[in-house]
Amino acid sequence: MVKKLGFLIVALVLMFPTLSMAGDFGKDDPSGVPGQWYVGTTPSNSAPSKYPVLFVHGLNSSSNTWWNENDMYDTAYQNGYETAFIDLYPTKTMWDNGALLAGKIHDIYHYFGEKVVIVAHSKGGVDTQSALVHYGAYPYVARVITLSSPHNGSELADLAYSSWAGWLAGILGSKNDATYSLQTGYMSYFREQTDTHTNVGRVPFYTVAGTKWGSFGSSLYWGGLYLSSYGRNDGAVTENSSRLPYASHLGTGSWNHSQIKEGNSTFDLFKNYLNESVPSSAGLNAVEIEPGIETASSYIRGGEYSGTKQELFTVEEGTEEITIDWISSHKGTSLILIDPDGKETHALESTTDENGLFQGAFHHSLTIQLPKAGEWKVHARSPEKEAYLMNVKYDSEFNDSVDVQISSNSIKLTEKNSKVKFKTDISIEYYQNGKLKKSKIKIKDHTFKLPELGEGVYNLTVDVNGNKNNQKFKRTILTSVYVDEKGQMYSQY
């Protein structure tokens, strides 16, 4: 049963005066009020064959993302398309935004007097599908184009709600209704509710994905580094998650999560799908989604401390490269990295997370080629109480040693190689009556059953301590599952 929340929103339509250049639009507008929508200047080269285009923003964003430091609005204007832009709730669920958006789509349809094509970025694509399928807005939309939308959930959302990252994410404000709903377990439930709905095929969907996450230290690099365990990604969303099995995929390109919504990046890719007549779909593919983790390549620790903190991690023989990323809530943290021989490294590069999951945090990082095998140490010192997260990323053949399988209400870890032996500790975090609950799980033969704790999202942290060819290795696997009111479990696996 889909849970819908009621609300009252007063719509405000702002009509802007005709502008000589479309790019001037919106620089001084009061954007960011949920439910408010804007109409762009009517281009002189508009035509009846061109649908109006409604642009929908994503998580922690607003309508001005389409024109502030972005030429998407100007590009659409120059190509003769009428445009509209809407503000949704930046941190609420697809149900809240779907209900809000559905009513506004109806209003925008009547304003233009015809159907619109929706171009949605990131979570805006999930919100749009919710509006069309669950809130009945499909009669007013000709088609939908999603730009790197996490249709199958976000592994970064799983990270934010994990036992190791929870302290830091909570302090930085990364935990909110939107992030909570994007955990892969809950999105598997959303997919089940949506993909089996009678309205799901009434409006054609087209998807676009990116695979670039920038150079070392850039704003989307850290998200891309973490997500690389799950395949190609744009620093925020994996290529796999950006697709729908019944959608036509327009293309995957070398764009990061910000670039993919820029006019100079992707407008030419989808512009022919903004018209009444569209190209033949013969060259397009509806791709089957392949679930599961590709590699277990991270070791994660985190929490809160005052004064000093030490973390240990192990590097196995044959490791090609490691990247240590220590994320702190304060700038003044000093770090010392100590290798197995006792050699100290103080020069960890420090950068600020400007628009990632841990926006406002500070990354202290270092990449080491052919690191020495053995136990490494990180000593941290902070002049004030500190929340932190340590992610050690491995390029190693050991990354492909463990597999996770989820079926019914049981979760099983298996060795991919007979020479691999390991032990696991599993922690569960969930919310009950608005309060965070934590639980440790005992396992037998690498299998455990989820305790009957009721409906909700359960975030799972699996810490693996393994041995392969007499070499110790440690990894952390994060995922989530959702249990509905009937006890049915949903997951990305």
CATH number at residue 329: 2.60.120.380
Pairing of strands 53-56, 83-86: parallel
Given 395, 422, 455, which residue is the final one in a domain?
395
CATH of the domain at 25: 3.40.50.1820
Q: DSSP letters of 109-146?
A: HHHHTS-EEEEEETHHHHHHHHHHHTS--GGGEEEEEE
CATH of the domain at 468: 2.60.40
* pLDDT score at 404: 74
Residues 165 and 208 in one domain: yes
135 in the Ramachandran plot: left (φ > 0), alpha (ψ -120 to 50) or beta?
A: alpha
Q: Is the Cβ–Cβ distance between 453 and 470 less than 8 Å?
A: no
Task: Please state, in angstroms and rounded to a whole number, the distance separating the CA atoms of residues 377 and 392.
Answer: 12
Task: Please state, in angstroms and rounded to a whole number, the distance separating the CA atoms of residues 303 and 438.
Answer: 14
In a domain, 3, yes or no: no
In a domain, 290, yes or no: no
pTM of the model: 0.90
Residues 433 and 378 in one domain: no
434 exposure class (CB count in 10 Å sphere: 0-12, 13-18, 19+) = exposed
* pLDDT score at 75: 98
Q: Is the Cβ–Cβ distance between 226 and 156 less than 8 Å?
A: yes
Per-residue pLDDT of the chain (493 residues; tens, 9 = 90+): 333 222 223 333 333 323 223 323 333 344 589 999 999 999 999 999 999 999 999 999 999 999 999 999 999 999 999 999 999 999 999 999 999 999 999 999 999 999 999 999 999 999 999 999 999 999 999 999 999 999 999 999 999 999 999 989 998 889 999 999 999 999 999 999 999 999 999 999 999 999 999 888 777 899 999 999 999 999 999 999 999 999 999 999 999 999 999 999 999 999 999 999 987 664 555 555 555 456 789 999 999 999 999 999 999 999 999 999 999 998 889 999 999 999 999 878 888 887 778 888 999 999 999 999 999 999 999 999 999 999 999 999 888 877 777 766 777 777 776 677 778 888 888 887 778 888 777 676 677 777 777 889 999 998 888 887 788 889 999 999 999 999 888 998 7
Total domains in the chain come to 3
* pLDDT score at 366: 93
* pLDDT score at 111: 98
Residues 354 and 454 in one domain: no
* pLDDT score at 422: 78
In a domain, 190, yes or no: yes
Pairing of strands 447-449, 410-415: antiparallel
Residues 449 and 416 in one domain: yes
* pLDDT score at 466: 82
Span between the terminal Cα atoms of the chain, in Å: 22
In a domain, 166, yes or no: yes
Residues 273 and 391 in one domain: no
Pairing of strands 362-369, 321-328: antiparallel
DSSP 8-state secondary structure symbol assigned to residue 333: -
- What 3-state class would DSSP assign to 92? coil
Residues 91 and 202 in one domain: yes
CA distances to 52, 73, 250 from 278, rounded to whole Å, are 15, 21, 12
Task: Please state, in angstroms and rounded to a whole number, the distance separating the CA atoms of residues 388 and 166.
Answer: 9
Range of the domain at 273: 13-283
Place of tokens 């943290």: 333
Residues 403 and 462 in one domain: yes
In a domain, 51, yes or no: yes
Task: Please state, in angstroms and rounded to a whole number, the distance separating the CA atoms of residues 380 and 21.
Answer: 52
* pLDDT score at 418: 64
Task: Please state, in angstroms and rounded to a whole number, the distance separating the CA atoms of residues 391 and 375.
Answer: 15
Residues 19 and 145 in one domain: yes
Residues 37 and 181 in one domain: yes
Given 395, 417, 434, which residue is the final one in a domain?
395
In a domain, 115, yes or no: yes
In a domain, 62, yes or no: yes
Query: What are the beta bridge partners of residue 143?
Result: 117
* pLDDT score at 31: 56
* pLDDT score at 447: 76
Residues 19 and 126 in one domain: yes
Given 395, 417, 439, which residue is the final one in a domain?
395
In a domain, 6, yes or no: no
Q: Record the tokens describing residue 195, joined without a space.
A: 């993909």
Residues 345 and 373 in one domain: yes
Residues 70 and 153 in one domain: yes
